[in-house]
Structure 1
Amino acid sequence: MMISNQGMQKSNSNLNCDCGCKNQRCTSKSKNSKKQQKEKILFVCAHNKRRSIMAESFAKYEGLDAYSAGLEKGENYEVDEMVILVMDELGLPVKQKSDTIDEIMDKIKGVDILITMGCIGACPYVPAKKHIAWEFEDPKGKDIHFYRKIRDEIEIKVIELSEILNEYE
């Protein structure tokens, strides 16, 4: 089920928060009754300010073990405010500070699936079972409608990924 605003109904009847925050879309528990994925997924874009941040949030909502990183730190280490806004429209939280690949790899100690988001040529080699390239235009400097368009495209890809991974549980 999509949660975007584009003609799809939002349903939160299957969502139950287990952390006590009462947010219908809290990512602390998957909306699916299936167990959490074992694969660690890392989404990478240039600065970890826009595309990879959105992908991580959607993936966590889908119950995946997801992280995001950039090739280098974004300005002030902060996530793009437009990303926070368009994800908040769906009730989905995003992390507030960007991470580099090195920082996140130190934290998670390895990754199973690496997904680049428009930076495949610039991405250093990161050992992973699977490398996937998703091409999304960077919405930097565009209007809110473009941010929503990219957000919705990312959501579709993450849902497809989740469905594929759930087939093999």
Structure 2
Amino acid sequence: MTTPTVLFVCVHNAGRSQMAAALLERHGAGAINVLSAGTAPADEVHPIVAESMAELGIDLTTRQPRVLSPELAREADVVITMGCGDTCPVFPGKRYLDWELEDPKGKSLAEVRVIRDDIDRRVRELVEELRLNLLHLDSPTNDA
């Protein structure tokens, strides 16, 4: 069975992409490789983002934002962008999704929870879609 790799990209890799990566790691249960990066990485994950994720039992305090590189993008089967617009480079041969999400930077905890829960819903849908694709690819009746 092929293990898909998903790359989440936002500008600073300090909020949305970090939440999405952590949630996909949880919901994917090891069946999906997860990466995240930013086009202009921050020095740390936004503290309010880490606080909102801690409510779900997920620790982001040790995660370090990293820069999006061509090497990192090459590893991905699916690239999900989150608000980086034209600053997100396009790498040929990748499946792209753009999740329009508010930037949690400067938001209250209540506002970040709404963003987190929206990301969680989207991640769960992505996990289901990737599982269905894997089942189809692994099906003995598949003539592909």
TM-score normalised per structure 2: 0.83
- Distance in structure 2 (CA, Å) of the matches to 1:127 and 1:86: 35
| Matching residue of 2:44 | 78
Q: Does 1:47 align with 2:42?
A: no
Alignment RMSD (CA, Å): 1.8
Aligned length: 130
Q: Which amino acid aligns with 2:45?
A: V
* Residues 39 and 138 (structure 1), Cα distance of their counterparts in 2 relative to 1, 3 Å cut: same
Identity of aligned residues (%): 38
- Note the 1:3-82 alignment, pairs <5 A: 38-63=3-28, 64-74=32-42, 77-82=43-48
Runs of at least 5 residues in structure 1 that lack an aligned partner in the other structure: 1-34
- Distance in structure 2 (CA, Å) of the matches to 1:43 and 1:127: 16
Q: Which amino acid aligns with 2:101?
A: F
CA contact (8 A) 1:110 1:128 kept: no
- Note the 1:133-148 alignment, pairs <5 A: 133-148=98-113
- Note the 1:90-169 alignment, pairs <5 A: 90-94=56-60, 95-102=62-69, 106=71, 109-169=74-134
**Cα offset for 1:65?**
1.1
- Distance in structure 1 (CA, Å) of the matches to 2:38 and 2:92: 16
Higher-RCO chain (CA-CA 8 Å, sequence separation at least 6): 2
SS at match of 1:91: coil
* Residues 82 and 128 (structure 1), Cα distance of their counterparts in 2 relative to 1, 3 Å cut: farther
Runs of at least 5 residues in structure 2 that lack an aligned partner in the other structure: 135-144
Q: Which structure has greater helix proportion?
A: 2
Deviation by residue 1:128-155 (Cα, 9 ceiling, x = unmatched): 4301100001011111101100000000
Q: Which runs of 4+ in 1 moved over 3 A?
A: 105-109
SS at match of 2:85: coil
**Cα offset for 1:109?**
4.9
